[in-house]
Structure 1
Amino acid sequence: MATPYPNYITPEGFAKLRADYDHLLGVERPRIVEVVSWAAGNGDRSENGDYLYGRKRMREIDGQLKRLSKKMKDAKVVDPRHQPDKSRVYFGATVTIADEDDNHRTVTLVGNDETDVDAGRIGWGSPIARALRGAAVGDLRRVMLPAGERDYEVMAIRYPD
């Protein structure tokens, strides 16, 4: 299913995808090919654990390579440092928000492939990110979360230098 918006990603996120792809293709896959070749030379393959595991692992790596390749092909790299209007929340913004109980939370809007909730990096397509898009400091935004509706006030917006 296609997403209704481009697959935005930061330059750092794209570099990580590329590094993961290069590692799988240049290190992991050749190592498994070597094991499979060695195991295939040992005779009966039907009960050869190294051979069977190696073939299975090679299929997994090939699947990961295919997924990473598609993600990189579909990615639209956006550098938040070049955002022309830094007074509003757009892709790459780090936003401090406060809920109705005055609990503050800081989140950075990143590509969906870069999400790390524990580090405060939320996907561009998440409910909070969608609600914050285009907001300015002082704006109130209502977010529908699994636990119910919450109102957030935008307290601060910043972009990387």
Structure 2
Amino acid sequence: MSRAFVREPDGSEPPEPPAERPVPPGPNPVTAEGLARIEAELARLSALSAPDPMEQRDLHYWQQRRASAQLTSPPEGGAVGFGSWVSVAGLGPAARCLRIVGEDEADPTAGLIGWRAPLAQALDGAEAGDEVEGPGGRLLTVLAVENGS
């Protein structure tokens, strides 16, 4: 078909609403801090008197994430699991302290690694002194694991 027969938008039609934010399938484990973040976002977005389409989209996303949130505590004992703080050597010139957290909490620059991330999966179940193969075949040494609050 020729472009001559395609109607160009003239600005009289309302813009299309933004696409929904994809909600990851499966469980939604969260730390206490992650749950607080979800609730703060919900409160902020719910308090808006006239949310724009992007804010409405975000409100819908956070409502879904709150409905599926499962407050999860770190495991007992010394093995790495959800919520654990882990000191790891082999990711760079110095040891790094990481925490395994929920997907919405993840911030790798702050050392918060989402539980589905390859690095978190490689560390899952390891204990202090263990060596594990990390992403890219790197050999990582678990220096310490803290599962307390």
TM range (shorter): 0.7 to 0.9
- Per chain length, whose mean CA-contact separation is higher, i.e. which structure has more relative contact order (CA < 8 Å, sep 6+)? 1
- Note if 1:91 corresponds to 2:112: no
Under a length normalisation based on structure 1, what TM-score does the superposition of the two structures give?
Answer: 0.71
Q: Aligned residue for 2:143?
A: 155
For 1:160 and 1:25, the matched residues in 2 are separated by 34
Matched, 1:72 2:73: no
Map 1:23-38 → 2, pairs under 5 A: 23-26=44-47, 28=48, 30=49, 32=50
2:99 matched residue in structure 1 = 108
- Provide Cα deviations, 1:55-108, integer angstroms capped at 9, x if missing partner: xx522121111100111112211133xx3x221001110001111876311101
Identity %: 31
Distance 1:155 1:12 in 2: 25
More helix by share: 1
Q: CA RMSD in A?
A: 2.0
Unaligned runs of 5+ in 1: 33-56
Q: CA deviation at 1:139?
A: 1.1
Superposition pairs for residues 1-80 of structure 1, below 5 Å?
3=25, 6-26=27-47, 28=48, 30=49, 32=50, 58-80=52-74
What letter corresponds to residue 154 of structure 1 in structure 2?
V
| CA drift at 1:6 | 2.1
Taking the aligned partners of 1:127 and 1:100, their CA distance within structure 2 comes to 13
Letter of the structure 2 residue corresponding to residue 131 of structure 1 = A
| Paired residues, number | 127
TM-score for the superposition, normalised by structure 2: 0.77
> Where do 4+ consecutive residues of structure 1 move more than 4 Å?
none
**Is 2:78–2:147's contact at 8 Å kept on the other side of the alignment?**
no
